[in-house]
Amino acid sequence: MKHLEFKEKYKELLLSGKKKATVRSWTNLKAGDRALVHCGGKIIGVAKILSVEKKKIDEFTEEDAKMEGFNSLEDFLKEVRNYYEGDELYFIKFEFEPFEKEIEPHEYYYEGYDIDKIVDEALEKLELSDREREILLLYKKYGSIRKVAKKLGGWRKRGEIRKVIRKAFKMLKNQKV
């Protein structure tokens, strides 16, 4: 499943249903997709993507600002300009379905196993490619997918890092290590 990540400050807007859209500089989402919603380090629900539209900053409307959970277009544009560079952004509308209880990512992806233990065992017991080993060693050093992504060139590397850790978990599970 794909992902949408939000800052902690947007959690109440999401849970209350006031936030029904988000702006991104890049996206792999399209209408009809479902995405896990991460907020403050927890998975809090699922978003059903209704539409993805590429827009220039000056094309955003008061209605867009309200869908984003802002009181005014001015406040919305101030936040967007503060956070994103460039003139074209993706405006993603979604329906949010909250979970009854927040979920820790490792509970969802790794059946409750600790990521640090998965990484340690994978490095010790699995045959890995040089790139997989590099990623796991960086995770062992920094203890954070975000920090490793930054080291590897930016936030877009997070998917690659998660994929390597999930692959290692599946391999360990299949070996019953």
CB atoms within 10 A of CB 13: 17
Q: What is the CATH number of domain 2-103?
A: 2.30.130.30
Where do the structural domains in the chain lie, given as residue ranges?
2-103, 106-175
Q: What is the per-residue DSSP string for 73-136?
A: HHHHHHHHHHH--SSEEEEEEEEEEEEEEEE-HHHHHHTT--HHHHHHHHHHHS---HHHHHHH
| pLDDT tens, residue order, the chain (177 aa) | 899 999 999 999 999 999 999 999 999 999 999 999 999 889 999 999 999 999 999 999 999 999 999 999 999 999 999 999 889 999 999 999 999 999 988 788 888 888 999 999 999 999 999 999 999 999 999 998 989 999 999 988 988 999 999 999 999 999 875
- The pLDDT value given to residue 177: 56
**Token pair belonging to 123:** 């490095």
Angle at which helices 130-142 and 158-175 cross, to 10°:
100
Determine the Cα–Cα distance for residues 121 and 87; give it in Å rounded to an integer. Answer: 45
Taking the model in full, what pTM does it have?
0.75
CA distances from 157 to 27, 64, 99, 161 (A): 13, 29, 27, 6
How far apart, in whole angstroms, are the C-alpha atoms of residue 153 and residue 5? 19
| Residue whose structure tokens are 């927040």 | 102
Name, in order, each residue with C-beta under 8 angstroms of 120's C-beta and a sequence gap of 6 or more.
Answer: 140
Yes or no: say if 14 and 39 are a contact pair by the CB < 8 Å rule. Answer: yes
